[in-house]
Amino acid sequence: DKPAGMVVHPAPGSPAGTLVNALLHHCGDTLSGIGGEKRPGIVHRIDKDTTGLLVAAKSDRAHHGLAAQFEAHSATRHYLALVHGVPDAADARLRGTKGVSFEPGGVIRIATGIARHRPDRQRQAVVGDGQGRHAVTRVRVVEGFAGQAALVDCWLETGRTHQIRVHMAHAGHGLLGDPTYGGKRRLSDKALGAGAALGNAFSRQALHAATLGFD
């Protein structure tokens, strides 16, 4: 259950204090060696400021089995997010957004290509047909808050870098607190009272890896 602020594996600028460092301290040399010296046991990852569930492999057999499930998209991954506005299938703007479609049960499906943003290589962006890596996110509203914000359940068919954050921003419902994709929208004090101040002061993307399922 990864806390916010922790990087998954060492990288330039984050040589220590990572999840890998913690795993090595806890597990010693019993982790899978498939990921190499810098990524032992690491099957997948979530962003530094995203909280929640990760699975690590202690044996090469487990690593191969888990990696195959992630590659085949058979692993179940649900995220909870707080977003600006309340996604609604009746919204003409949302219906006209490229890559957005609707499925039974109030499910919104977002399917686009995602690639690195050309001027800013630290960001990802939705790209045109046939470009980038195919990405599919499904979204269901769990609860709306005075039309200002919503708690949404997002589940991944694919797992691209920043996928949920990019797709929700593309749909016009960027995550609260997201410094990269959230935009400059503010919650209304009049509509939400004290809740607006809490939401507007949120210091990171409001995203939590809530459910992780695998065989």
Residues classed as catalytic: 47
CA 110/CA 23 separation, integer angstroms: 35
Quote the CA–CA distance of 135 and 112 in Å, as a whole number.
6
11: CB partners within 8 A, 6+ apart:
none
CA distance 74 to 55: 14
d(Cα 56, Cα 19) in Å, to the nearest integer? Answer: 10
